[in-house]
C-alpha cells in the first residue's frame, strides 16, 4: 500500500487528477441507489392508485344502482304529473272557448272559476290567469297564489317578468319554478288564452325532492353496514380504507368509533375534487388521520353530492419498498466510505504544493502593483521550475501579476489623461454656457418676460439660443441646433452665435442675418457641418414679429388657450446651400400671447420603447401649462419630457426659449 502511494507521488498532476476522478466514479452507485429508491416509491404509489381507483369506481356503481332506480321511479311520477297539469289546462281552455262572457273582467265566467277552484281543492293544483296588460287584474283562486309571480324560472327571471315578456302558443309549455327563500320547486304548465291572458297551472314537487333525500340517507345507512372502519386487507401488509363524505365535507360513513377522528374536507379541498371530477380526473393527496399519514384518492358523485375517498396508510405502501432500498443504501454507504478514504489520501499529496501556491496568492492583495521591483521579488517566491501542473499554475500566476502591474500603471496614466480631458470639457462647458444670455428677466426687456434653458446631451452641446435688444422697441430671438454633438458642435455653435450677434448689431433684418450666417458657414466649413436656425425680431410696442426660419422647428404661439405654429420656411439649414437667398416672414403677435421656441431635442426625445415625444404632446403641454409664468412653464415642460423619457438616455441636446408678450 505504501509502495503504491509512493509510485502515485511520482505521477504528474494531471495523472493524479485522473486517478482521483476514477475513485469518485464510484459515486454513480449512490446515484443509482437514489434513483432506485425514487422509482420504487413511484411504482408503489402508482400500484396503490390503481387499487384506490378501482375501489372508488365500485362504490360509484353502488350509488348508481340506487340512484337510477330512484330516478326511474321519480320520472314515472313526474310524467304523470305533467299529464295532470295539461288535462287541467285543457279543461279550463275548453270552458273559456265556450264562454261568451269572457270579453269583460277575467273570472266573470262562473264555469271557469268553478273548474279552477275545484282543481285547487281536489288535486292540490294552483291555477291562475295572468293579465299581460294589467297584471293587477290577474285572476287568482287564492290570494296567496300571487307569491308564485315572484318565484324564479330557470333563466333567473321572476315568473311575472317571464310571462309579460314571453310569447306562448298551444299546446302549453312546461317550466320549472324555484322559491329562492324556501328552496321549494314547482312544475308549471303555461298555456296561451288570448292576446292579453295566459293560463298558468302549477304544482309543488317538494315530495319528490324529499323522497330523493330519503333515498340518499338510506344508501349511506346501507354503506355503514358494509364499510369497515379498519378497512379491508389487500395483502398481508397493505390495507385499503373507504370513506363517504357529504356535501358539507363531513364523514358520514363508516360510523365513527368512540375517540376516533372524522375525515373532514374544507371548502378548498371540496372545490378541487369537484373541479377535477369535471375534467374526468381523480384527486390524489396525503392527509393525516388519527395520527397516521394516508395516501388518499377522492372522487365526487355529483348526482347525490357526496365524496368517495379511498385511503391507504403510507407506511403500508412503502414498507416492502423501503426494506429493499435499505439494503442498497447500506452497500452504497460502505462503498462510498472506502472511496472517501482513498480520495483523502490522494488529495493530501496533491494539496502540499498547491497549499504553497495558495498561501502566496493570498498575499497578492497586499502587493503594491505599481512598484515593479516589489512585483519582481514577489513572483520569485513561486516555484516556476516544476514540470507538472503546479509549475504551470505558478508560471501563469506570475505572468498574471506582471500583466496586472502593467495594466494598472497604464490605467493610472489613462485616468490622469481622462481627468485632464474632463477638466478641459468642464471649462469648455462653462465657456459655452457663458456665451448664452443671462439676466433674461432684466428690465431692458420689459414688458417681455423671457426664460431660456439648455441641457446638453454630452459635456458640451451644439444647441444655442440668444436674446438681443436691438433698440428701445425691438428685441431679437435666436435659437438653433448644430448638426453634431460634443466639442465640434460646441465650437460651431460659438461661431454661429458670434456671427448672429455681429449681424444684428449692424441693424440687419432677420433674412439678411440668415443670408450672412449661411454665407460665412459655407465658406469656412471643412467638416460640412450645418445648423438649423430660427431668427425673429419682435416689436414690443406693436407686436409685429418678423422672422426667418432656416430648417428649424416651427415656434408655437399660445393665445386665449389656442395653440398655433408660425408658418413659413425661409430655406434650408445654414451651412448646406451656398448662395441661397432666405425669405423673411412677418406675423402679428397679440397681447397676452406666449411664444415657445425649441430644438428637436424636445420633439424627438425617445422613451424606452423608442417612441418620440412628438409635436402633438408639445402643443398639448403648451396649452396645459398656459397659466404658469415663463419660469414654471419651462420647468413643467422639462419635467414632462423627462417623465416621458423614463430610463432611456438623453439622445440630443434639449433647448427651450419661452417669451411672454403681456398686456
Would the pLDDT of 656 be above 90? yes
Would the pLDDT of 106 be above 50? no
Using DSSP bridges, classify how beta strands 292-301 and 474-482 pair: parallel, antiparallel or unpaired: unpaired
* Through-space distance between the first and last CA atoms of the chain, rounded to whole angstroms: 108
Please give the pLDDT value at position 566: 95
Tell me the backbone φ, ψ of residue 399, rounded to 5 degrees: -65, -40
Give 103's pLDDT tier (boundaries 50, 70, 90).
Answer: very low
Q: What is the pLDDT of residues 472-525, one digit of tens each?
A: 999 999 999 998 777 788 888 888 999 999 999 999 999 999 999 999 999 878
Would the pLDDT of 405 be above 80? no
Please give the pLDDT value at position 587: 96
Q: What is the pLDDT of residues 132-160, one digit of tens each?
A: 888 888 888 888 888 899 898 877 789 88
Please give the pLDDT value at position 259: 80
Mean pLDDT of all residues belonging to the chain: 81
Q: Which three cell numbers mark 218?
A: 338510506
Would the pLDDT of 355 be above 80? no
Candidate ranges 15-29, 90-104, 179-193; pick with highest mean pLDDT:
179-193
C-alpha span between 553 and 379 (Å, rounded): 65
Q: What is the pLDDT of residues 72-89, one digit of tens each?
A: 555 566 777 788 888 888
Q: What is the pLDDT of residues 29-57, one digit of tens each?
A: 666 666 666 677 777 777 778 888 888 88
Would the pLDDT of 410 be above 80? no
C-alpha span between 634 and 631 (Å, rounded): 5
Please give the pLDDT value at position 475: 96
Q: How is the chain split into domains, by residue range?
A: 26-351, 437-661
Would the pLDDT of 8 be above 60? no
C-alpha span between 332 and 462 (Å, rounded): 76
Would the pLDDT of 636 be above 70? yes
Which residues make beta-bridge pairs with 176? 187
Strand segments, DSSP code E, in 438-507 are 449-455, 463-469, 474-482
Mean pLDDT across 267-283: 80
Which residues make beta-bridge pairs with 173? 190
Classify domain 437-661 at the CATH class level: alpha beta
Name which residue leads in pLDDT, 342 or 631: 631
Coil/strand/helix, residue 6: helix
C-alpha span between 426 and 424 (Å, rounded): 5
Query: pLDDT over 90 for what percent of the chain?
Result: 29
Please give the pLDDT value at position 460: 75
Q: Which three cell numbers mark 418?
A: 481622462
For the residues of 48-82, what is the DSSP string, one character each? HHHHHHHHHHHHHHHHHHHHHHHHHHHHHHHHHHH
For the residues of 496-562, what is the DSSP string, one character each? HHHHHHHHHHTT--HHHHHHHHHHHHHHS-TT---EEEEEEEEETTT-EEEEEEESPPPPEEEETTE
Mean pLDDT across 618-641: 95
Would the pLDDT of 184 be above 90? no
Mean pLDDT across 78-103: 74
Nearest residue to 597 (alpha-carbon basis) of 645, 561, 560, 630 = 630
Please give the pLDDT value at position 5: 53
Q: How many CB atoms lie within 10 A of CB 629?
A: 12
Q: What is the pLDDT of residues 543-587, one digit of tens each?
A: 999 999 999 999 999 999 999 999 999 999 999 998 899 999 999
User: Which contacts of 230-237 are long-range, i.e. CB under 8 A and separated by 24 or more positions?
Assistant: 231/311, 234/51, 234/312, 237/316, 237/319, 237/320
Q: Which three cell numbers mark 390?
A: 503546479
Q: Which three cell numbers mark 430?
A: 462653462
Buried b (16+ CB within 10 A) or exposed e, 102-116: beeebbebeebeebb
C-alpha span between 509 and 504 (Å, rounded): 7
Please, what is the angle between helix 314-362 and helix 389-435, to 10°? 80
Cα distances (angstroms) measured from residue 362 to each of 349, 357, 367, 406, 481: 21, 9, 10, 20, 56
Cα dihedral 101, 107, 110, 112 sign: positive
Coil/strand/helix, residue 653: coil
C-alpha span between 558 and 561 (Å, rounded): 6
Would the pLDDT of 452 be above 70? yes
C-alpha span between 13 and 386 (Å, rounded): 11
Please, what is the angle between helix 314-362 and helix 27-98, to 10°? 130
Would the pLDDT of 442 be above 90? no
Cα dihedral 371, 376, 381, 382 sign: positive
Nearest residue to 552 (alpha-carbon basis) of 510, 505, 610 = 510
Please give the pLDDT value at position 105: 40
Tell me the backbone φ, ψ of residue 247, rounded to 5 degrees: -65, -20
Name which residue leads in pLDDT, 613 or 108: 613
Q: Which three cell numbers mark 475?
A: 428685441
Amino acid at each position: 500500500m505504501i509502495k503504491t502511494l509512493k509510485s502515485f507521488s511520482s505521477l504528474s498532476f494531471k495523472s493524479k487528477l485522473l486517478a482521483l476522478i476514477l475513485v469518485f466514479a464510484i459515486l454513480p452507485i449512490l446515484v443509482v441507489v437514489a434513483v432506485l429508491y425514487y422509482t420504487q416509491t413511484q411504482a408503489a404509489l402508482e400500484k396503490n392508485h390503481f387499487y384506490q381507483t378501482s375501489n372508488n369506481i365500485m362504490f360509484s356503481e353502488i350509488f348508481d344502482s340506487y340512484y337510477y332506480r330512484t330516478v326511474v321511479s321519480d320520472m314515472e311520477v313526474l310524467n304523470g304529473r305533467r299529464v295532470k297539469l295539461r288535462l287541467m289546462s285543457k279543461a279550463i281552455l275548453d270552458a273559456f272557448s265556450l264562454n261568451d262572457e269572457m270579453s269583460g273582467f277575467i273570472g266573470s265566467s262562473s264555469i271557469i272559476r268553478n273548474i279552477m277552484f275545484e282543481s285547487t281543492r281536489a288535486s292540490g293544483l294552483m291555477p291562475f290567469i295572468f293579465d299581460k296588460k294589467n297584471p293587477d287584474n290577474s285572476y287568482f283562486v287564492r290570494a296567496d297564489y300571487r307569491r308564485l309571480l315572484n318565484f324564479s324560472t330557470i333563466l333567473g327571471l321572476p315568473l311575472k317578468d317571464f310571462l309579460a315578456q314571453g310569447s306562448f302558443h298551444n299546446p302549453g309549455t312546461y317550466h320549472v319554478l324555484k322559491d329562492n327563500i324556501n328552496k321549494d320547486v314547482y312544475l308549471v304548465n303555461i298555456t296561451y288564452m288570448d292576446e292579453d291572458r295566459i293560463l298558468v297551472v302549477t304544482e309543488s314537487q317538494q315530495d319528490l325532492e324529499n323522497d330523493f333525500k330519503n333515498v340518499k340517507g338510506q344508501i349511506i345507512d346501507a354503506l355503514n353496514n358494509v364499510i369497515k372502519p379498519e378497512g379491508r386487507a389487500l395483502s398481508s401488509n397493505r390495507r385499503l380504507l373507504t370513506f363517504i363524505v357529504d356535501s358539507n365535507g363531513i364523514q358520514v360513513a363508516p360510523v365513527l368509533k368512540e375517540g376516533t377522528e372524522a375525515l373532514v374536507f374544507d371548502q378548498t379541498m371540496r372545490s378541487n375534487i369537484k373541479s377535477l371530477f369535471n375534467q374526468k380526473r381523480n384527486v390524489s393527496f396525503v392527509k393525516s388521520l388519527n395520527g397516521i399519514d394516508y395516501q388518499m384518492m377522492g372522487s365526487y358523485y355529483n348526482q347525490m353530492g357526496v365524496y368517495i375517498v379511498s385511503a391507504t396508510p403510507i407506511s403500508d405502501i412503502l414498507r416492502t419498498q423501503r426494506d429493499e432500498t435499505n439494503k442498497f443504501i447500506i452497500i452504497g454507504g460502505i462503498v462510498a466510505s472506502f472511496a472517501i478514504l482513498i480520495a483523502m489520501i490522494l488529495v493530501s499529496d496533491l494539496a502540499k504544493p498547491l497549499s504553497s501556491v495558495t498561501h502566496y496568492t493570498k498575499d497578492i492583495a497586499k502587493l503594491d502593483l505599481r512598484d515593479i521591483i516589489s512585483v519582481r521579488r514577489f513572483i520569485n517566491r513561486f516555484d516556476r521550475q516544476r514540470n507538472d501542473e503546479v509549475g504551470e499554475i505558478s508560471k501563469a500566476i506570475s505572468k498574471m501579476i506582471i500583466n496586472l502591474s502593467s495594466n494598472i500603471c497604464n490605467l493610472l496614466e489613462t485616468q490622469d489623461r481622462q481627468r485632464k480631458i474632463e477638466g478641459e470639457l468642464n471649462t469648455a462647458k462653462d465657456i459655452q454656457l457663458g456665451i448664452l444670455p443671462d439676466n433674461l428677466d432684466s428690465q431692458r426687456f420689459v414688458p417681455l418676460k423671457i426664460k431660456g434653458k439648455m441641457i446638453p446631451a454630452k459635456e458640451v452641446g451644439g444647441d444655442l439660443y440668444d436674446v438681443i435688444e436691438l433698440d428701445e422697441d425691438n428685441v431679437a430671438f435666436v435659437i438653433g441646433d448644430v448638426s453634431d454633438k460634443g466639442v465640434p458642435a460646441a465650437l460651431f455653435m460659438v461661431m454661429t452665435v458670434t456671427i448672429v450677434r455681429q449681424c444684428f448689431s449692424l441693424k440687419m433684418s432677420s433674412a439678411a442675418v440668415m443670408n450672412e450666417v449661411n454665407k460665412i458657414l459655407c465658406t469656412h466649413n471643412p467638416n460640412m457641418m450645418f445648423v438649423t436656425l430660427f431668427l425673429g425680431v419682435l416689436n414690443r410696442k406693436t407686436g409685429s414679429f418678423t422672422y426667418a426660419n432656416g430648417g428649424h422647428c416651427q415656434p408655437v404661439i399660445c393665445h386665449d388657450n389656442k395653440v398655433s405654429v408660425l408658418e413659413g420656411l425661409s430655406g434650408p439649414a445654414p451651412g448646406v446651400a451656398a448662395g441661397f437667398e432666405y425669405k423673411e416672414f412677418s406675423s402679428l403677435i397679440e397681447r397676452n400671447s406666449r411664444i415657445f421656441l425649441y430644438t428637436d431635442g424636445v420633439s424627438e426625445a425617445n422613451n424606452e420603447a423608442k417612441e418620440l415625444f412628438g409635436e402633438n404632446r408639445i402643443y398639448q403641454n403648451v396649452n396645459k401649462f398656459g397659466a404658469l409664468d415663463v419660469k414654471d412653464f419651462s420647468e413643467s415642460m422639462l419635467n414632462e419630457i423627462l417623465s416621458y423619457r423614463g430610463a432611456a438616455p438623453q439622445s440630443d441636446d434639449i433647448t427651450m426659449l419661452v417669451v411672454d408678450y403681456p398686456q
